[in-house]
Amino acid sequence: MLGTALTINSQEHNIVTLKGAGHVAAREFAEEVKEAWTRVNLVALEKEAARLNRVLAGVLGLAAPPQYPSACKIAPLMDDAKALDASLLSKLNADAIGPEVVARIAPVRKFVADPRTARANAITAFVTAELDRWKDFFDTIESKPLTPEQRLSVVVDEDATLVLAGAGSGKTSVITAKAAYLVKAGIRQPDEILLLAFAKNAAEEMSERVEARSGVPIVARTFHAIAYDIIGIVEGSKPALADHATDDTAFSNLIKQILKDLVYRLSEVSKAIIQFFAHFLVEPKTEWDFKTKHDFYTHMESQDLRTLQGEKVKSYEELRIANWLYENGVEYEYEPLYEHKVSEIGRRDYQPDFRLTESGIYIEHFGVRREKARDGSERLVTAPFVDRDEYLAGMDWKRKVHAEHQTTLIETFSYERQEGRLLTGLAEKLAPHVTQTPRPVDTIYDRIVELKQVDDFSKLLGTFLRKFKSGGYSLQDCQTKSDRMKLGKRARAFLDVFAPVFEEYQKRLEGRIDFEDMILRAALYAEDGRYVSPFRHILVDEFQDISQSRARLVKALKAQHPDVRVFAVGDDWQSIFRFAGSDIHLMRHFGREFGGSFDGEAGVHRTVDLGRTFRSVDHIAFAARTFVLRNPAQIDKKIVPAGTATEPAIRVVSVSKGEDEGKLNELLGALSAAMAPEAKPATVLLLGRYRFTEPDMPGLRRRFPRLKISFKTIHASKGLEADHVILLNADSGRMGFPSEIVDDPLLSLVSPEEEAFQNAEERRVMYVAMTRARHTLTILASNARPSSFVTELRKDPAYGISTAPGAETEAHVCGECGGRLLGVTGQDGRIWYRCEHVQHCGNLLPACPSCSAALPRLAEGTSEVRCGCGASYPTCPECEDGWLVERSGTFGKFLGCVRYPTCTGKAKISGGDRPTITKSRRRTRA
């Protein structure tokens, strides 16, 4: 009666309502609007019919995809489907288009709503079908059928695929099968596949293997070979290669020659070079950088604190003083005996730090700093682990000695270095007493050469230079990073030397190129499009060894076409070439660096773990896995061993000093004797961290003809295997294993990230050594100074290490510094227990007087020191490790510390069961 309201909904406009219309007219109008809207929907569908059919076919094809549905292949379909849905499908009215059309477009709409799930389902369908389809190929491509994990890695074809290939897991088989599969499946033509290896012989072997196994002619190339080809294509000819590019010895000699020439030619540069050698060659850490004496002593022993005069000193600050004296022509003696006999119970003969030979002046350097109290007063403090009162008493005693004997004492202090005036202050104090006659820089440099300090520094400079070039760094980059990492004066001094060396090195190339230039120039040509890549699949072997420059080249080639795939095979557990520029973080962040993108997700990639090892028995395989995964940054991988050990497969054999050769002969003799008469020769691989550990190989081969014996450094052993592996010289020390000289903090300036885990790369070197063995691994270690790795293997039951009965002596902690007390045989034939930090600590204890072998230790909950043989002694009231024994003195017999005269703890002998303890002031050298 009041009329009909007609409401029209619109996505593009506000809702329109017409009121007061006649009922019949309104109904007719509404019907006409619906019909018009249906016609619009159907017309729109008709216009997009071809596009819809194409998208629909693509989406439906995901149910059984003909090729691996990688992100780069599916992304265009997703983009097309999303665009079609946004412009049309989402706007269609179900009533208008009808249920049949709704059902037809439903797969597209479902795909648009969740493309990731759709792609994941498509991958599953493809992989399942493809593994079945190529079963015969996988069964026959290698001498043995491929494992399920190897087959999966071949058919997976993501934008970026990383195959984790542990030691002995058959990575070469995977690369070979992948290349052959791509061609045989019609996915790529041979010239569209780039097969990359790091070494020339590895590339040649791979090329031959691919063609022999599959008949497919794909030439594997090194990174440098493809880079050189790219440069030749773009420039029309290939520039000459520098002579030293392929010769590390020539490269090192060139750096040494540049250093020498700069010293003799340029005064400012020569000063910078001499300054670095004299004051910054070693890392400038002091007692205040460590929490315990043991940590400090361990660090000091890892540094070669060798002065320009040639002696080894005990601290970085003493090193600076000694080198300043040498530079300025002030003759001195280090730690001479004091010219007057000073006798005081409990003290060793007095040895001042320095004596100036011409003037007779003494220099003592005191490890004290100044600290202000809240009331403004100032006091001297010592390092956290040093007894302040005892140390200050020692300072006073030394001053008293010089005063009594009227000798001149010059004092220097740690706080002077902290305040930046150690050497200027020394110069002022010495000025009234000595005349400085500075040595010429060329004379000092000749001395540095004589001490062989140039060799290690040249290696550091060379490694830095190569990493600097390959990473595309600038000097400003390094300076900025140095400031951020607070590397201080040492880094600035190093860069002052490096800058002119690098400039001179570039000049001496004279138009030729080195390998770093080669890679970077090729990458640049690929990045800017001057080189057009034909490659659609890039297969990289030994991916854990990739450097920043090589990664840049791979990325540049990948970026040239949207459908390029990267297939990388490697093992981050075997990344041991950081010194050559390899960057383990590129593998750890593989997806971020090389992955594709899909549905808003970046870094899309796939990882396949081969898992199975065809080399090592379970005991070795699992122990090696446990060992390397102590570093939580390593990628976790499963291990399926090659077999089960029937007897202990890993053992540690302790070796006394001078017994290395005899113990090795004993081990080889046992291996030879255990062989069956008709058995073929067993292979034995001797491994050393350094080349100098190589024994007399001709002699060993003559003595043990039934064994096939070889020696390799661990780095050179990668890819090799043997029935039995013997690891030599697993000792602690600067040239031990783990090596304590490989990672100079300065290299962090040209490294993307520093690994936080201690000995991270050395741990991987140990893993490589362990996994060369098929059946047994024997580790030879010093019984006095076993390496930290050996100690770890012995202590943790998880490794299941076998140690010969009685071969391992009980570990004792030094009460003076926290180091180890090691059993040694003295010149008198008696056994003594000496602190491992003999140069710094000097704690020395005799063996038990009763058994003459073991070391008595404090029994928990008692005041007695007891030996394993059953003997017991009263504890020393003054020191941690000593015990009291009967001695004779002026006033008769008494109980005195076995560490006398270092410790003067004593007690009276009473008639009772227990001695009466008499306290005396403990005296040790400050």
Least Cα distance to 502 among 553, 467, 456 occurs for 467
Kind plus residue range of the DSSP H or E element containing 668? helix 660-673
CA distances for 72 relative to 55, 118, 157, 640, 911, angstroms: 16, 15, 10, 33, 93
CA distance 718 to 167: 9
CA distance 398 to 386: 18
CA distances for 414 relative to 279, 318, 320, 370, 628, angstroms: 15, 10, 12, 9, 40
CB atoms within 10 A of CB 22: 11
168 appears as a binding residue in the annotation: yes
Sign of the dihedral through C-alpha 27, 33, 39, 45: negative
Q: Residue 94 in contact with residue 35, Cβ under 8 Å? A: no
Q: Residue 167 in contact with residue 640, Cβ under 8 Å? A: no
CA distance 869 to 850: 8
Strand partners, 241: 513
CA distance 772 to 777: 9
Kind plus residue range of the DSSP H or E element containing 402? helix 388-405
Residue 100 has which token pair?
């049949």
* The three-state (H, E, C) secondary structure of 323-361, written as one string: HHHHHCCCCEEECCCCCCCCCCCCCCCCCCCEEECCCCC
777: left (phi over 0), alpha (psi -120 to 50) or beta: beta
CA distance 179 to 854: 64
The C-alpha angle 15, 17, 20, rounded to 5 degrees, equals: 180
Strand partners, 193: 537
568 appears as a binding residue in the annotation: no
Kind plus residue range of the DSSP H or E element containing 896? strand 892-897
Sign of the dihedral through C-alpha 422, 427, 430, 436: positive
Kind plus residue range of the DSSP H or E element containing 32? helix 23-47
170 appears as a binding residue in the annotation: yes
CB atoms within 10 A of CB 609: 19
Kind plus residue range of the DSSP H or E element containing 319? helix 316-327
Q: What are phi and psi of 372, to 5 degrees?
A: -95, 135
Least Cα distance to 600 among 114, 67, 61, 121 occurs for 114
CA distance 33 to 39: 10
165 appears as a binding residue in the annotation: yes
CA distance 201 to 222: 9
Residue position matching structure tokens 């489907």: 81
453: left (phi over 0), alpha (psi -120 to 50) or beta: alpha
CA distances for 85 relative to 95, 106, 109, 368, 598, angstroms: 17, 11, 7, 76, 17
CA distance 275 to 51: 74
166 appears as a binding residue in the annotation: yes
Strand partners, 222: 197
236 appears as a binding residue in the annotation: no
Residue 145 has which token pair?
């059928």
Identify each DSSP E strand in 201-256 by its residue range.
Answer: 220-222
Least Cα distance to 728 among 760, 695, 704, 706 occurs for 695
Positions at the binding site: 165-172
Positions at the binding site for ATP: 165-172
